[in-house]
Amino acid sequence: MLALGKLLQLTLAGREPAQQIQLTVAGVRLRWLGEGVLEVTPPVARDDGLDLLLSAGIHGNETAPIELLDELLHAIADGRLVPAARVLFVFGNPEAMRRGERYLEQDVNRLFNGRHEQSSGSEALRAADLERLAANFFQGPGRTRLHYDLHTAIRGSKIEQFALYPWQEGREHSRQQMARLARAGMAAILLQNRSSITFSAYTYETLGAEAFTLELGKARPFGHNQQVDVSRLKTVLEQLISGDEPPPGDDLQSLEVFKVSREVIKRTDAFTLHLPADIENFSELKPGYLLAEDAPGIRWIVEEQGARIIFPNPKVKNGLRAGILIVPESA
């Protein structure tokens, strides 16, 4: 296997490769662009016009998607998977990966769409670098742009694998993209309704890519992801990379679709979230339930029928989202 195919090993060791460009026997070019970032370019004759950004490790302890990208890259480097797409592999927060932590000082996935400019430190710099790398990768005119940002969750979930679809004024969500996610094993999709500061929101809103945050299960240490089944997603990614994807469809029957009703924003240190610490994502909340309180006199009371909570986290910094109330999308 080519040395650059061992991007994960290089990243975890904090080493720079001796050779920063290598070619496979099939003429596929691997180019190291910086710590945790590798660009794969197919031979010109095979290029099908897709630019595919695959990111994982934005949260350093979410190891199942990191291992999935590692497997794909190994297959490319040793010739078992011959790309027809340009692919950018990104391990988002290398130092947090090395420490087995979600992040060091700041949640990198809350620092995009320019939010890093309002902050400082190594993780703000990393978010700025990732924006630059993504913008450079997606600069080619007339090409299809697709970004999957892969995650696992810090808590259990009643729906284990699901996707978040960013929002942009005047832009419609694609049924074909959602149908592909259903084939990839996503059981639900959340349609967002406002601009966001996540990595996928940046590539969607600013760079014009189709982009998704994919939640694949519960976060576990390296080597302990046997319960996280990413086999269907791996198949779809291999098809996208190799150009062997079946004709697109728009069947969403297997997919539960939700929309955001409200975001719960933590404003002060007095914030209290009235939920059990071990509550699972997609837990249903009845109308009238006092969800959270904050100073001065702010209360979040559930009003929506069929409301569910995802990503509840009272430990976020002031000004950030401490949970999302979602409801089924009937359309």
Instruction: Pinpoint the alpha helices (H) of the chain.
Output: 7-13, 63-77, 94-99, 122-137, 175-183, 199-205, 231-242
Say how far apart CA 209 and CA 198 lie, in whole Å.
Answer: 14
CA triplet 280, 100, 21: central angle to 5 degrees?
120
CA–chain centroid gap for 80, Å, is 26
**Residue 283 to residues 139, 219, 275, Cα–Cα distance (Å):** 41, 19, 10
Exactly one of 160, 210, 215, 280 is catalytic; which is it? 215
Cβ–Cβ < 8 Å for 186, 161: yes
Q: What is the CA radius of gyration of the chain?
A: 20
Q: Is 169 a catalytic residue?
A: no
b/e sequence 2-23, b meaning 16+ C-beta within 10 Å: bebbbbbebbbeeeebeeeebe
> Do 242 and 276 form a contact (C-beta atoms < 8 A)?
no
CA end-to-end span of the chain: 49
80 CB-near residues (< 8 Å, 6+ apart): none
Report helix, strand or coil for 94: helix
Residues with a known catalytic role: 215
